[in-house]
Chain A
Amino acid sequence: MLDKLQNSRNGLGLLFMLPAAVLLLLFLTYPLGLGVWLGFTDAKVGRSGEWIGLENYEFLWGDSVTRLALFNTLFYTTVASVLKFGLGLWLALLLNRNIRFKTFFRAVILLPYIVPTALSAIAFWWIYDSQFSIISWALVKMGLIDGYIDFLGTPWNARFAVIAANVWRGVPFVAITLLAGLQTISPSYYEASAIDGATRWQQFRHVTLPLLTPIIAVVMTFSVLFTFTDFQLIYVITRGGPLNATHLMATLAFQRAINGGALGEGAAIAIAMVPFLLACIMFSFFGLQRRKWQQGGADK
């Protein structure tokens, strides 16, 4: 039996895949399945629920706080991702050049990513404090403003404040990954294009960007996924306030399910995020990774 297994490619293949499969089933498929199931029930903490069909989703559709959280999440993800991409690419291009202390800067750039999110969130909480903000303090001392800025006290200020914190934290991931991508591009392309008389912009547009697109697709997919599902920054800095202006789907799901005890409803909010995340993954894999797009062509 053992000999037979040892000589069977398929048998061994299955055997070696088994640990990974068990892990995936146990820690990914089962919780996801349970979450989907809970979303269709009225489960509460300490009480298993009964099947109620789409009732949770129907309520959430009409619930102003959930709608606001959906808007906040889309806004937060879009603005933060665009900024992270722009700044990340810019930093990667800078770090790819022969500048002094290149290694030092490459290491430093990772710092925001290394610091635990909860800690950097606390730092931002102080930075944005309505009474102790160092930004406000500095601006007042410089005579540029009269009173402290209410960073977290008005809905739009708060939205942009948490986006800034998210961008600060997320840029290194984008920058370093794109830098790795840039380094895989052979210098001969640049030499050839320079001989052909290409300008720096043309080199970027027709050499760098097309060759970097597969990496951009992957890194931005991950970045969007992380941003869409962000929890810690919001939970520490605003708890979703003021007036629920910074509640994201993830923080609202937690608030309703755990603090509020409505497990079914919380699960439904969390599961409602899945279609958005799937759409994002689909766009990345079937869009950005297409050869034609990467080479500057369009679908016919």
Chain B
Amino acid sequence: MSSQLNRRKFLEGSAGVAATTLGATAAVFAPAVQAQTLTLKPEKGAKLRVLRWSRFVQGDIDAYMINVKKFTDKTGIEVRVDNEGWEDVRPKAAVAANTGAGPDIILSTNDDANLYPDKLLDVTDVAEYLGKKYGGWYPAGEAFNRPDGKKWIALPLGAAGSMMVYRESVLKSAGFDSFPKDTDNFLKMLKGVKEKGMPGGMALGNATGDGLWCNWLVWAFGGKLVDKDNKVVIDSAETMKALEYGKEMYANFIPGTLSWLDPNNNKAFLDGQISVTNNGISIYVAAKNNSDPKVKEMAADIQHASFPIGPVGVPTESHLYFNQMIMKYTKVPQAAKEFLRFMMEQEQFDPWLTGAQGYVAPPLAAYAKSAIWTADPKNTPYRDAVKNLRPAGYAGKLGYASAGAAADFIVVNMVAEAVSGSKTPKEAMERAQKRAERYYKV
């Protein structure tokens, strides 16, 4: 499905806010932005094909296409943008990489760039230029896209933050004026809201996005799937503590979370059945834009927070990460690089962040100053998703093993087995260890 630019729709929509605040944002960015130069020479008559994940909020694609149009107007390079559901991009990108034909640029997710690094164009020059200009890339961006610490195999685009979404009034009634910052109080809060008749609930089914909270749980207590040498170490005392804690969490969840896929918590939250969950900003956006006055009213009561910090003492968040890959087979590498550079420049990237209504967190430090993060205080917690992000293959190297282990839901299944009591935490850990060892080839 090709996206068609609709400027009128864009200006009418929320993304229009960005256009009107452009002048003001330039001043905001001024101290963070360092002058840099990069000269790219797009090939004559170049045309580009971009495959990207389908928008989560309409303002995202509207703003993206405005930027694409600006690029075409400026350079004369035609750009065709195709959209696919984010989970369908992986197989398509893999086929493109395999066959050496397809889109010039692919916006993919998580470990994708690490699956076929030798099929991707080296974008070190663009990455260094942008990094120096915009306050540096967050470490997660480097972990995903600069695996050897030298060469950039793709450019970070950002991450769809999976944050804590909660009903302020319910927490207050349970005696919590703000969202708990540590795991001990988080558990107390879960018990409290359950007693108030509106429990929490987080997905434990094979949910690719919302199941990521299981990584947070394991990491928060010091557990991890692999160590830095890719040795599987999930069967550990730390993981055991995490699973014991998870059991107590699960006991206070709404029934049925074992079957939850990505949309279930959104539905239950918007229906007023749960007061706490983990999600992108979409629940809030859906409530805000809902035609039902009751749901619209709920938007005022919805608040967001970062995940609580566990005994390890540092944030251990897991989010859906986005790459921008240029395929090596492209006949117009300079044009492709120029496109990515252009899209990441403040004049384009900031309005795009605004259009995405906080759904995508920036990978470059300077963009934390973007007005979108403070225009509505409820957006602020989503700002630091890339900053606090750990790749799912933490603390090892990314590649086929990490992608395979994540896609096989090894950690999610382990947590689900242990917390639901279908296996003891020890059994669940041992099973996860064995399953993971296959991917990491012991």
Residues in chain A within 8 A of chain B (CB atoms): 44-48, 59, 63-65, 128-132, 147-148, 150-155, 158, 238-244, 255-256, 258-262
Please tell me if the beta carbons of A241 and B435 are within 8 angstroms of each other in the complex.
no
Please tell me if the beta carbons of B255 and A153 are within 8 angstroms of each other in the complex.
yes
Distance of A151 Cα from B408 Cα, bound (Å): 23
Q: Which of B223-280 contact A (CB under 8 A)?
A: 254-261, 264, 267-268, 271, 273
Q: Which residues of A contact B407 (CB under 8 A)?
A: 255-256, 259-261
Quote the shortest CB–CB distance from B245 to chain A (angstroms): 19
Residues in chain B within 8 A of chain A (CB atoms): 87, 90-91, 94-95, 97-98, 115-116, 119, 204-208, 254-261, 264, 267-268, 271, 273, 400, 403-405, 407-409, 413, 416-417, 420, 422, 431, 434-435, 438
Distance of A241 Cα from B408 Cα, bound (Å): 11
A-B CB contact pairs (8 Å), 25 listed: A47-B115, A63-B438, A129-B267, A130-B254, A130-B256, A130-B260, A131-B254, A131-B267, A132-B267, A148-B256, A153-B259, A238-B205, A238-B261, A239-B205, A239-B261, A240-B206, A241-B206, A241-B258, A242-B204, A243-B417, A243-B420, A258-B90, A259-B87, A260-B404, A261-B90
Q: Choose from A47, A150, A262 the contact partner of B255 (Cβ within 8 Å).
A: A150
Distance of A260 Cα from B392 Cα, bound (Å): 13
Please tell me if the beta carbons of B256 and A131 are within 8 angstroms of each other in the complex.
yes
Please tell me if the beta carbons of A44 and B261 are within 8 angstroms of each other in the complex.
no
Contact A129 B94, CB 8 Å, known A46-B119, A241-B206, A261-B115: no
Please tell me if the beta carbons of B271 and A132 are within 8 angstroms of each other in the complex.
yes
Q: Which residues of A contact B256 (CB under 8 A)?
A: 130-131, 148, 150, 152-153
Please tell me if the beta carbons of A45 and B268 are within 8 angstroms of each other in the complex.
no
Please tell me if the beta carbons of B206 and A262 are within 8 angstroms of each other in the complex.
no
The B interface is mostly helix, strand or loop, or mixed, namely: helix
User: Which of B257, B267, B400: most chain A Cβ within 10 A?
Assistant: B400
Please tell me if the beta carbons of A243 and B438 are within 8 angstroms of each other in the complex.
no
Please tell me if the beta carbons of A46 and B116 are within 8 angstroms of each other in the complex.
yes
Please tell me if the beta carbons of B400 and A241 are within 8 angstroms of each other in the complex.
no
Quote the shortest CB–CB distance from B420 to chain A (angstroms): 8
Please tell me if the beta carbons of A256 and B416 are within 8 angstroms of each other in the complex.
no
User: Which of A48, A151, A244: most chain B Cβ within 10 A?
Assistant: A244
Distance of A46 Cα from B208 Cα, bound (Å): 22
Please tell me if the beta carbons of A260 and B205 are within 8 angstroms of each other in the complex.
no
Q: Which residues of B contact A255 (CB under 8 A)?
A: 407-408
Q: Choose from B95, B116, B264, B431 the contact partner of A129 (Cβ within 8 Å).
A: B264
Please tell me if the beta carbons of A65 and B260 are within 8 angstroms of each other in the complex.
no
Quote the shortest CB–CB distance from B79 to chain A (angstroms): 24
Q: Which residues of B contact A46 (CB under 8 A)?
A: 94, 97-98, 115-116, 119
Q: Which residues of A contact B258 (CB under 8 A)?
A: 150, 152-154, 241-243
Distance of A153 Cα from B250 Cα, bound (Å): 13
Q: Which residues of B contact A155 (CB under 8 A)?
A: 422
Distance of A259 Cα from B97 Cα, bound (Å): 15
User: Which of A128, A132, A261: most chain B Cβ within 10 A?
Assistant: A261
With A242-B204, A256-B404, A261-B404 known, 19 other A-B pairs at CB within 8 A are: A45-B94, A59-B438, A130-B257, A132-B271, A150-B255, A150-B256, A154-B258, A239-B261, A241-B409, A242-B205, A242-B259, A243-B416, A244-B206, A244-B413, A259-B90, A259-B407, A260-B405, A261-B90, A261-B115
Closest A residue to B88 by beta carbon equals A258
Q: Which residues of A contact B400 (CB under 8 A)?
A: 44, 261-262
